[in-house]
Structure 1
Amino acid sequence: MDAKLFPSRTLRLSGAVLFILLTVGLSLVSVFFDLAAGRFGQTLSLSLPFWVCALATAGLGFWVVPLLRSLKAGQIIREDGPQAHLKKAGTPTMGGIFFLPVAVVVSLLWSGFSPNVVAVSALTLAYGAIGWLDDWQIIRCKSNKGISPRTKLSLQIGFAALFCLWLWLTQPFSITSIALPFGWVVPLGVLFWLLAGFVLVSESNATNLTDGLDGLAAGTVAIALMGLGILIAPSHPDLMLFCAALSGSCLGFLAHNRNPARVFMGDTGSLALGGALAAVAILTNSLFALLIISGLFLVETLSVIAQVSYYKATKGPDGIGRRLFKMSPYHNHLELSGWSETRIVALFYLVGGLLAFLALALS
């Protein structure tokens, strides 16, 4: 896409306006579905845990963000990235350390420590710990290279295997197939566990790749979690509660992460959010719905794969290849094509909302 496709007189959205629009939108959606399902005012609803976590996270951020700044936990910006991002150097990162625990604690207490919520929370915190190691290494070494990709991938696969082992031991025959629209079911047998592990790792890395602009990952994941929560509400109210709580925490974090961001979530937050989405989808047999809801994250991942593959395939004698995009992931291509950060984020929010609606319609 090129910026020339959109006239310069198009409404310029600020980060604050985007945040307000997303807040109003998610709030109306949560209240509407609570009323439609007759759950409004009950303990297991979308809107109540959503707002409790949103307000708690936003309030906590006013204490944690200055603390991270005083600890000099500043982001190291890639020198080969968009030049406009260089001014963000030094912005505190590792924001996941305060918005993830809020959602986990609220959902655990509110659900009465439901086994499913305990398992999903454990996986979320485990992936958050991997991200924290990566962020800490970047800060400690003052380099944009954290732990090695092999180490990160090994840890992700290890925790994914533990989660699948727990699920197999506790619910060995409940989930061995994929539910598709119109009542179709694809039995996979033992292959389901390989697919589940792949989804956990790939979804985690996909949300990590999407976390490249102010408010982009926090807002799109909040939308995805709300859509997934609505989808699974009739059959898994405990995990619906978890989705609502984590969506609210993302919104509360966005109060500090909207453009211009005062804090970044870092790998601590982005890896954990993808793991949470995947874990909930696996437990509720909603993998096809997750594929649709996570369409934006998939596009971001495919853009990186396509960029690298095309570059390697077109290498000449000088060792230099051609590029499909100006830069990957795709949001960087849009930015280098003249789009402002807020316009890209607004587009992604809109598409994310449409994808969530599509997943609900197909279900």
Structure 2
Amino acid sequence: MDAKLFTNRSFSLSGTRLFLCVTIGLSAAALSLDWLAGRSLDQGASLTLPFWVSALATAGVGFWAVPLLRALKAGQVIREDGPQSHLKKAGTPTMGGAFFVPVAVGIAIVLSNFSANVIAVSALTMAYAAIGFIDDWQIIRYKSNKGISPRLKMGLQIAFAIAFCVWMFVTQPVSITTLALPFGLMLPLGGLFWLLASFVLVAESNATNLTDGMDGLAGGTVAIALLGLGALVGQTSPDLMVFCACLSGGCVGFLVHNRNPARVFMGDTGSLALGGALAAVALISNSLFALLILSGLFVLETLSVIAQVTYYKATKDSNGIGKRLFKMSPFHNHLELTGWTETQVVGWFYAIATLLAILTFTIR
């Protein structure tokens, strides 16, 4: 793809306009989907009411939490080897996930009437948020890009993934180990399902984490994916639909403060939690194939990092220096270094995320 073809200013929107586009678009989608499904908008078991209750609550809490994070000097440390345009963001408060994720999760639990499935998914989400919080706190505390060790971080993610799988094994029907494919096809996995489930939980959380690198990028794309997943599972799992709508609304409420130019970043506290939430809902609702499509952008970001590292190692010369496949990974950084503005990247990613959500509905 020739990046120069897309760097025309006519393709660029301000952060505020992008925020309005995604907010209005998701609101219209929620209303339309509720109307088509015959769901009453004055009930909790819908997309629209949970979405807006959570969006307004998280946005409101943010007006108190963001200044608090600034007062606590919870400023982001920017990589010196990253895009130079990001250096001006140094000191912007991070750990924003610490305020919007718990609020959205709490609202979801209440509006779902304390559904056991929602409580379990919420527990997994908060567990991954806790991992991210520890990592963010280490970075803030020592003013370094290095948080907890990658081995400890991955170990904690795997441990919580296994715990969630054990809960599923005990409480969910045996048929959950049969993977649902498009057009009514089913693929029996048996015991392999549990290996796949653990992998998906860890991989999805890390994929959303990699996508969180620009103002509003992860918040908007995950909001779209969550609402799409909620709509897909609404007929069979209305409680999980409410959970997805609440977290989607929470992301939108967070975008009030995170849109370009961002006044706060979600940090690992938010990005790890959101990925875990997506994976947990998909596992319980047997929607893994749908999640694969909805997470297409997150998969692309992950593959770009894997490809960059692999290519660098494979092309090392006698001095131990290799070649780079991209100017920088993840892929959104490559686009920025080829001339795209942040808002252009975010705008195109929002558009692609929307198309992926529509595609998911067409082939389910």
Structure 2: which amino acid aligns with 1:117?
Answer: V
Q: Deviations over 1:187-241 (max 9, x none)?
A: 0000000000000000000000000000000000000000000100100000000
1:110 aligned partner: 111
1:240 and 1:6 map into 2 onto residues whose CA distance is 36
Alpha-carbon distance, 1:40 to partner:
2.6
| DSSP-derived class of the 2:355 partner | helix
Shift of residue 177, structure 1, vs aligned partner:
1.4
Cα separation, 1, equivalents of 2:137 and 2:44: 38
TM-score normalised by structure 2 residue count: 0.99
1:65-108 deviations in Å (ceiling 9; x for gaps): 00000000000001111111000000000000110111111111
Q: What amino acid maps onto 2:4 in structure 1?
A: K
Separation in 1 of the partners of 2:200 and 2:99? 26
What is the TM-score when the length of structure 1 is the normalising length?
0.99
- Measure how far apart 1:4 and its partner are: 1.8
Which residue does 1:50 correspond to in 2? 51
The residue number in structure 2 matching 1:15 is 15
CA distance, structure 1, for counterparts of residue 348 and residue 24 of structure 2? 17
Q: Which residue of 1 aligns with 2:96?
A: 95
1:186 match: secondary structure = strand
State the Cα distance separating 1:43 from its structure 2 match.
Answer: 2.3
Partner Cα separation in structure 2 for residue 6 and residue 219 of structure 1: 20
Residue in 2 aligned with 1:233? 234
1:233 maps to a residue whose letter is G
Distance 1:258 1:3 in 2: 23
Letter in 2 for 1:30: A
Deviations 1:118-147 (A, max 9, x none): 000000000000000000000011100000
Shift of 1:172: 5.0
Moved over 6 A (4+): none
Which whole-Å CA distance do the structure 1 matches of 2:4 and 2:135 have between them? 38
Alignment of 1:184-263 (within 5 A): 184-263=185-264
The answer for the alignment partner of 2:309 in structure 1 is 308
Partner of 2:73: 72
Q: Is the 8 A contact 2:157 2:202 kept in 1?
A: yes
Contact 2:44 2:242 in 1 (8 A): no
In the TM superposition, what is the alpha-carbon distance from 1:7 to its structure 2 partner? 5.7
What percent of counterpart residues are identical? 71
| 2:7/2:340 contact within 8 Å kept | no
Distance 2:213 2:255 in 1: 14
Shift in Å, 1:9:
4.5
Instruction: Work out the CA distance in 1 between the residues paired with 2:101 and 2:244.
Output: 12
User: Who is 1:349 aligned against?
Assistant: 350
What value does the CA root-mean-square deviation take over the aligned residues? 0.8
Equivalent residue for 1:36?
36
2: CA distance between counterparts of 1:180 and 1:8? 40
Q: Which amino acid aligns with 2:27?
A: S
Measured after TM superposition, the shift of residue 360 of structure 1 is 1.0
Q: Is the 8 A contact 1:58 1:256 kept in 2?
A: yes
Paired AA for residue 243 in structure 1: C
For residues 25-79 of structure 1, what are the alpha-carbon distances to aligned partners after superposition, in whole Å with 9 as ceiling and x for unaligned? 0000000011111103232000000000000111110100000000000000011
> Which is worse superposed, 232-241 or 163-172?
163-172
Tell me the secondary structure at the aligned position of residue 290 of structure 1: helix
Contact kept, 8 Å, 2:12 with 2:347, in 1: the verdict is no
SS in 1 for 2:156: helix
SS of 1:5's equivalent?
helix
The question of whether the paired residues in 1 share the 8 Å contact of 2:216 and 2:259 is answered with: yes
Question: How far apart are residue 8 of structure 1 and its match?
Answer: 2.6
For structure 2, the 5+ residue unaligned runs are: none
Change (3 A) 1:9 1:19: closer
Partners of 2:7 and 2:266 in 1: CA distance:
32
Is the Cα contact below 8 Å between 1:219 and 1:251 reproduced in 2?
A: yes
State whether residues 204 and 279 of structure 2, in contact with CA within 8 Å, keep that contact through their aligned partners in structure 1: yes
Number of the residue aligned with 1:159: 160
Unaligned runs of 5+ in 1: none
